[in-house]
Amino acid sequence: MPDSDSGCGTVLVITGTFDPTADLVVEELNRRAVPVFRADTAWFPSSEFPPELPSEARAVAAAEARGGFGGLLSALPPRWLPPPGRAAEAESKPLQLRVAAECGLRVPRTLITNRPEAAREFAARAGGPVVYKPFTPIRGTAGGRTVAVYASVLGPEDLGHPAVASTAHLFQEWVPKAYEVRLTVVGRRVFAAEIHAESEAARTDWRSDYDSLRYRVCEPPPEVAAGVRRVLGQLGLPYGAFDFVVTPSGEWVFLEVNPNGQYGFVEQATGLPITAAICDYLEGAMG
């Protein structure tokens, strides 16, 4: 985030202590001799409280620190990538699907429900497999092991399971795929890479098995490139990591957009100059 008035002020990088993708940006900015300050918000106020501070006062102080520090950052005028408030709103999958459809992109038929009978009816109308997707990333530990919930293909017995009634679920029709595409947009620049999965798990959700993936640079159809730019315009974002399925007939189908998505693995596999585009944006060299 540079000083927009001077055009080349200090770039503030807010991220975790371990973030290989942020490392790429910092290294490129250093190469360009652009001043950088990197911070992890967990640093403050974790080391500021005196040990004798009661737990109740500690909780209030922590909330005030988050409100003060976060409020100060949101009040700063320079450009953000991505803007914190808008990025948080854009994480909503239902919102993304609505905006993508309004912007001319094809989206899968989707149902959000906690009624098993509605899920079964949806699958019957879809006439094929149905995919379950979590609304937010779900990671944790079970039995001492790290686990994560990815998209999964469901059968009729799964859709009728009583657990469906316990909370909201997002179901989508299964879209036949020749391959998938990670399409990254920085400002007005579009970078696309085909993702070819070579394992059964990755063919359902490529994030579940990175070791089985192959990448190839590709060019999105003009209408898709225009559509993703419109999506970011409506969401008020300068950056987005889009996921598409490309069907055997060549049709591009929108799955989701991550307003703060990782891109380093694509750049390292393909050589696409995404880091350079991000640094151009931060320096004010592009809109």
Binning pLDDT at 50, 70 and 90, where does residue 166 land? very high
Q: Do 220 and 242 contact (CB within 8 A), yes or no? A: no
Radius of gyration for the alpha carbons in the chain, expressed in angstroms and rounded: 21
Rounded-to-integer distance, Cα 222 and Cα 226, Å: 6
3-class secondary structure, 78: coil
Binning pLDDT at 50, 70 and 90, where does residue 239 land? very high
Residue 124, Cβ neighbours under 10 Å: how many? 11
Q: Which domains does the chain have, with CATH numbers?
A: 11-82 (no CATH), 87-105+176-282 (3.30.470.20), 110-173 (no CATH)
Binning pLDDT at 50, 70 and 90, where does residue 2 land? very low
What percentage of residues in the chain have a pLDDT greater than 70? 93
Contact residues for 56 (Cβ-Cβ < 8 A; gap 6+): none
Residue 35 in this model has a pLDDT that exceeds 50: yes
Residue 286 in this model has a pLDDT that exceeds 70: no
